[in-house]
Amino acid sequence: METAQITPFAAIAEFDTPGALVQAAEKVRKAGYSKTDALTPFPVHGIDEALGIPRSHLGYIVLCIGMMGTAAALLLQWWTGAVDYPLVIGGKPLFAFEFSIPVTFELTVLFSSFAAVFGMLALNGLPRFYHPLDNARMTRRVSDDRFVLVIDKSDPKFHPVETIGFLRSLNPISTELVED
């Protein structure tokens, strides 16, 4: 039911094995599509290369925030123990690296983990409860056993009719033009 009136969001094609998806994806990239994506029930190896998706930068974010955790911990222990209210305890120094290690380590890990999780959500723009692809008939099974290839309308080469046609040529189970 492709007619010129409707505003398309993306053209999608459905496959039943990860292998098929990856093969198709390679062709799509070679065909010069860049605003592409794939919906899969589990991380499919090789899809990133196939679609030319760059590596994640999450690691750097985590590193920075982890370091902040380290600093925060050391500051906390030094300031509370040696500056704000210095009390002689067990004849030990007011602040010492030795007894600061455990708490410092823990806070580093804590900060890093928060960074990893919330960083990941942020990079993925989650939570996102509505998505045009939800309107597609086939996307329901991507969390089960289907593998869907997506070409976004923002792609310069995108054309409702031609793109669909191109996708059909990759012998998917089916194709669909998703409305916004």
Partner 1 sequence: MADLAIKPPLAELNPPLVEGNHSYSTVTHTVSGIVERKTPKQWFIAISISGAITLMMLGMIGYLFLNGVGVWGNNSPVGWAWDITNFVFWIGIGHAGTLISAILFLFRQKWRTSINRAAEAMTLFAVACALLFPLIHVGRPWRAYWMFPIPNTDLNMWQNFRSPLLWDVFAVSTYGTVSALFWYVGLLPDLATLRDRARTRIRQLVYGVLSLGWRGSARAWRHYEMAYLILAGLSTPLVLSVHTIVSFDFAVSIIPGWHTTIFPPYFVAGAIFSGFAMVVTLMVIFRYAFQLEDLVTIKHLENMNIVMLATGSIVGYAYATELFIAWYSGNMYEKFAFLNRTTGPYWWAYWTMVSCNVISPQFFWFKKLRRNIPFMFVISIFVNIGMWFERFVIIVTSLHRDFLPSSWGYFRPTFVDVCTFIGTLGFFTTLFLLFVRFLPMIAISEVKGVMPAPGASERGQH
Partner 2 sequence: MDLVQISNQKKPTGAGKHYWRSVNELDGTAKLEGWLDQEFPAGPVNDSSRRQVLKLMGASFGLAGLVACRRPEEKIMPLSKGVEDLVPGKPLLYNSVFVHAGAAAGVRVTTHDGRPTKIEGNPDHPYSEGKATGLAQGALLNLYDPDRSKQVSEKGNESSWEKFGAFAKTHFDGVGNGDGLRFLSQRVVSPTLTSVREQALKKWPGAKWVEWEPVNNDNALAGAQLAFGNVVEAHYHLDQADVIVALDSDFLNLDSPTVLPARQFTRKRKVTEPGDAIARLYAVESQFSATGATADHRLRLRAGAIAAFTADLAALVGVGESKTLSGEKERKFLAALAKDLKANEGRSVVVAGPRQPAEVHALAHAINQTLGNCGKTVTFTQALAEPMLDGLKALAADLSGGKVSTLVMLGGNPAHDAPADLDLAGGIGKAQTSIHLAHNANETSALATWHLPEAHYLESWGDARALDGTVSIQQPMILPLYGGRSALEVVAQLAGLPSAKGHDLVRGFWQGQWPAADRERVWRKALHDGVVANTKFAEAKVTAKAPAAGAKAPGTGYDVAFHPSSSLWDGRYANNAWMQETPEPMSKLVWDNAAMVSPATLKALGATQGDVISITVGGKSIEAPVMVQPGHADQAISISLGYGRKNAGRVGDGVGVNAYPIRTTAGLHIAEAQVAKTAKTHKLVTTQEHFRMEDRPIIREATTAQYKEDPKFAEKMSEMPPIDSIYGYHSYEQGYQWGMAIDLNACTGCNACLVACQAENNVPTVGKAQVSRGREMHWIRLDRYYTGTGDEAQSVSQPMTCQQCETAPCESVCPVAATTHSPEGLNDMAYNRCIGTRYCANNCPYKVRRFNFLNWHKEDEEVQSLVHNPNVTVRMRGIMEKCTYCVQRIQEKKIQAKVEGRREIKDGEIVTACQQTCPADAIVFGNIKDPGSRVAKLRHQERNYELLAELNTKPRTTYLAKLRNPNPELA
Partner 3 sequence: MSAIFPKSTDLYVRIGGAVAVLAILGGVGSFAYLSHPKVLETGYSPVQPVPYSHKLHAGNLGMDCRYCHSTVERAAFAAIPPAETCMNCHHKVKEKNPILQPVRDSFEKGVAMKWVKVHRLPDYVYFNHQAHVGAGVSCVSCHGRVDQMIEVKQVAPLSMAWCLECHRNPAANLRPAHLVTRLDWKPEGDPAEIGRRIIEEKHIKPPTNCSGCHR
Footprint on this chain of partner 3 (rule: CB under 8 A): 85, 87-88, 127-131, 134-137, 139-140
Among 12, 22, 65, 177, binds partner 1 (CB under 8 A): 22
Among 42, 89, 128, 144, binds partner 2 (CB under 8 A): 89
Residue 137 binds which entry of partner 1, partner 3, partner 2, none, with Cβ cut-offs from 5 to 8 Å by kind? partner 3
- The total of other beta-carbon atoms located within 10 Å of residue 70's CB is 16
Touching partner 2, residues 107-136 (CB under 8 A): none
Residue 58 binds which entry of partner 2, partner 3, partner 1, none, with Cβ cut-offs from 5 to 8 Å by kind? partner 1
Can you tell me the distance from the alpha carbon of 150 to that of 175, in angstroms, rounded to the nearest whole number? Answer: 10
Cα four-point dihedral sign 166, 172, 177, 180: negative
Cα four-point dihedral sign 118, 143, 134, 53: positive
Extract the tokens encoding 43.
């991380």
Residue 135 binds which entry of partner 3, partner 1, partner 2, none, with Cβ cut-offs from 5 to 8 Å by kind? partner 3
Q: What is the DSSP string of 2-18?
A: --TTS-EEEEEEEESSH
